[in-house]
Amino acid sequence: MFYLVNGAGYPLLWILGERRIIILLSCLLLLTACRQNETDREWPAYGGDNGRMHYSTLSQIDTANVKDLEVAWVYRTGDAAAGSQMQTNPLVVDQTLYGVSPQLRLFAVDAGSGKEKWTFDPSDTGDTAAQPAGSHHGMNACRGLALYRDNKNGHKLFYTVGSFLYCINARTGTLEKGFGAGGRVSLHEGLDVERDIRHLRMTSTSPGIIYKDLLIMGSSLNEEEESAPGHIRAYDVHTGKIRWIFHSIPHPGEEGYETWLSPDSHKYRGGANTWGGFTLDEKRGIVFAATGTANPDFYGGHRPGDNLYANSVLAIDAATGKKKWHFQTVHHDLWDWDLPMPPVLVTVTKDGKQQDLAVQLTKQGFVFVFDRETGAQVYPMEERPVPVQSALEGEYLSPTQPFPTAIAPFIRQEMRKEDLNTLLPDSSYQDLVKRFESYRRGPVYTPPSFQGTIVMALNGGAEWGGPSVDPESGILYINANEMPWVIAMKENTVEKETPPQMNNLAAGKMLYTRHCQSCHGADLKGGGLAPALELMELRMNETDFKQIVKTGRRMMPSFNRLSESELNALSAFLLSIKQKQKERFVPPAAKEDSIYHSRYVPQGYQQFLSKEGYPAIAPPWGTLSALDLKTGKYLWQKPLGETELGKRLQTETGSMNYGGSVVTSGGLLFIAATPDEKFRAYHKTTGEILFETKLPAAAYATPAIYSIGGRQFITIACGGGRAKKASGDYYITLSLKQN
């Protein structure tokens, strides 16, 4: 070993001495080992990390070479079906990628090649109640997994199928028999309720989060008059036993109980659930949750008061379940403005000092920024008077609502006449004008009405995909929808409309009006997130139809309480079974459920569309925005997604989008999420599109970014199945061409 000194070569040993050489070699070996470890970067949690930043430090793929991305490998699950979806953000740990199929089969593949290692199918366990499509628990969307590290025995994976939470050994793909009853626990159990809720929807669409030896779980519920409470529970990762519970609908003696003016609300009311998952400040031991609406949606006569802890940001001691602070973003929600994701946790240098922030986005387009420790507002906010008039007798509206005053909303919150879509033919535009003027309209928080109220962002604004944030620059990236909806209410008179002599056709129409019309429409043509039910007899037999009604499927709740005679009537109507339509309807025995009978129900909440099916509002219909958290100012906003109308008129419209983005140290932001089946890479500073490719199916999911052996990969689940797009079963992985 030689070293050059003044042009002459001398032994390095002679220059530095033997001892120094040994130290130097040791340092070099240690540095080499560290660099080898750095060549593998994992994606170990939903959203990339416990703060849900959707951020990767990897920079091999950058603004200069992203155009050279190509498919590295493809994994197909083989179980897509008509209408099936995949919304999963996969995990990557120990060079293994873990994902979930359209039929909720869990799988593990080599993250560098896509070669299958194992699969777990709940229907293969020998337990008929575990079968996702055939049990009374139904199908649910699965957006991700939670992983508990155990290097000795194999990591544990947790995910939900129907109403069961499963624990799977990540090394073998088999049930962890010591968890719960043979590897699973029922989410119906341990909710501290006095009533029987086993017939109600109780699942989880987003994964829980791990804190030490606890798995903290939320829930996804139906949003009908009768539903389960959305209490938050912490399970022992080894045994499945509940270690603590937080009552999101407070019990007597608990803080917040006084905000429910009906004294028995804790017994009968439901919702206030954490369906979007959690974030975790592990150092402080604080878990953050964001809750949904108290049920039912759109009418709150049975739940007067502000309804804590519905529509609230919660900071909870992760070890004990005790609340540290809260903030309610909507008082007494009537607009289905759930908080669709937990607050993003990021540290930003603001006003000359580092600040640990919790940033909460809302469906209606607000950005709330909190001090993570105290819950104090980092940017100003005020309680502002809002419209309080409601034609619905017995309704309670909060006279004020919270408004951020420094950060502008990232979507339009009110639809005005000048916002109507002028890209349409004149006859269509005039039709929109006529309908627009027939509806009630006004600023944000204008309540539902009999004539129909135009409401922005029932489905976002911000949605469950969540934003991404660059901790290097403090910039938050938000993908959002801008879609007007119409909420029309009516008196709930169904029980009065059951004459003693009624055939199945008439009874089926009555049952459809009560249970189905609000989503699928009075004309059966669907709208928004619900499919059309026209010509259903051509697509489904009676047995399968009844099974789906009883179990629910994905976002459709279970109607397991319907009697066999009610199911016969509903199927006779929707499946056009002529013989059954003529048969006499036999009403079921009277039920003791009048406490759940709302005085008013929605006669429909539908997207406000033109005759051609385009949004009634002028574009953009989907956006991608960059917000500087240091200043509260937007740096840019771009339309996200293409439509046929936009291509024909050569204008950027943006489109509805579902799924999140990921931002990288390489200067890029990656996102799919759109019905145009594209996957795009944006320059994170300018918003310029640097790369886009056509996927085999729309990817309504968030990508995962990781590296194996120094090579960077990007994986996205392409499940399609919504917005009239074909279903898919592809996990597509992109990378730069390997030398």
Would you list the DSSP string of 133-188?
Answer: TTSTT-B------EEE--TTT--EEEEEETTEEEEEETTT--B-TTTBTTTEEETT
Q: What is the CATH number of the domain that holds 502?
A: 1.10.760.10
Residue 379 lies inside a defined structural domain of this protein: no
Do 50 and 215 contact (CB within 8 A), yes or no? no
Mean pLDDT score, 718-730: 94
Q: Which of 580, 597, 614 is the last residue of a domain?
A: 597
Mean pLDDT score, 121-131: 63
Mean pLDDT score, 8-12: 43
Does the pLDDT of residue 47 top 60, yes or no? yes
- Give residue 456's pLDDT band: very low, low, confident or very high (50, 70, 90): very high
Beta strand 622-628 with 475-481 is antiparallel
Mean pLDDT score, 287-311: 96
pLDDT digits (tens, 9 = 90+) for 220-257: 998 888 999 999 999 999 999 999 999 999 999 999 99
Taking phi over 0 as left and psi of -120 to 50 as alpha, with beta for the rest, 673 belongs to left
**What is the per-residue pLDDT for 126?**
54
Own/partner pairs, 377-386, CB within 8 angstroms, 24+ separation: 378/350, 379/404, 379/405, 379/406, 379/407, 379/632, 380/404, 380/405, 380/406, 381/405, 386/443, 386/444, 386/445
Does the pLDDT of residue 646 top 90, yes or no? yes
Residue 678 lies inside a defined structural domain of this protein: no
Residue 506 lies inside a defined structural domain of this protein: yes
**What is the per-residue pLDDT for 577?**
78
Helix 564-574 × helix 504-515 angle, to 10°: 90
Cis bond leading into 461, ω under 30°? yes
Q: What are phi and psi of 268, to 5 degrees?
A: -120, -20
Mean pLDDT score, 167-172: 98
- Give residue 496's pLDDT band: very low, low, confident or very high (50, 70, 90): low
Query: Can you list the positions of beta strands (E) in 218-328?
Result: 220-221, 232-236, 242-246, 278-281, 286-290, 312-317, 323-328
- Give residue 567's pLDDT band: very low, low, confident or very high (50, 70, 90): confident
Residue 603 lies inside a defined structural domain of this protein: no
Report the C-alpha gap between 481 and 483 in whole angstroms: 6
Residue 207 lies inside a defined structural domain of this protein: no
Q: Which of 597, 632, 655 is the last residue of a domain?
A: 597
- Give residue 542's pLDDT band: very low, low, confident or very high (50, 70, 90): confident
Mean pLDDT score, 125-152: 69
pTM reported for the whole predicted model: 0.87
**What is the per-residue pLDDT for 575?**
83
Q: Which helix (H) or strand (E) holds 550?
A: helix 542-551
Residue 382 lies inside a defined structural domain of this protein: no
Mean pLDDT score, 89-117: 98
**What is the per-residue pLDDT for 592?**
47
Mean pLDDT score, 618-637: 98
Beta bridge partners of 312: 328
How many domains in the chain? Answer: 2
Does the pLDDT of residue 529 top 90, yes or no? no
Residue 99 lies inside a defined structural domain of this protein: no
Residue 293 lies inside a defined structural domain of this protein: no
Q: Which of 528, 563, 597 is the last residue of a domain?
A: 597
The per-residue pLDDT of the chain, averaged, comes to: 89
pLDDT digits (tens, 9 = 90+) for 362-399: 999 999 999 999 999 999 999 999 988 888 999 989 99
Based on its alpha-carbon atoms, the radius of gyration of the chain, rounded to whole angstroms, reads: 27
Q: How deeply is 648 buried, as exposed, middle or buried, from its count of CB atoms within 10 A (0-12, 13-18, 19+)?
A: exposed
**What is the per-residue pLDDT for 594?**
67
Does the pLDDT of residue 403 top 50, yes or no? yes
Domain coverage including residue 26: 2-38
> When comparing pLDDT for 464 and 496, which is higher?
464
Do 530 and 552 contact (CB within 8 A), yes or no? no
Report the C-alpha gap between 502 and 584 in whole angstroms: 6
- Give residue 338's pLDDT band: very low, low, confident or very high (50, 70, 90): very high
**What is the per-residue pLDDT for 1?**
37
> When comparing pLDDT for 494 and 379, which is higher?
379
- CA 457 to chain centroid, in Å, comes to 15
Does the pLDDT of residue 134 top 60, yes or no? no
Report the C-alpha gap between 420 and 435 in whole angstroms: 11
**What is the per-residue pLDDT for 9?**
45
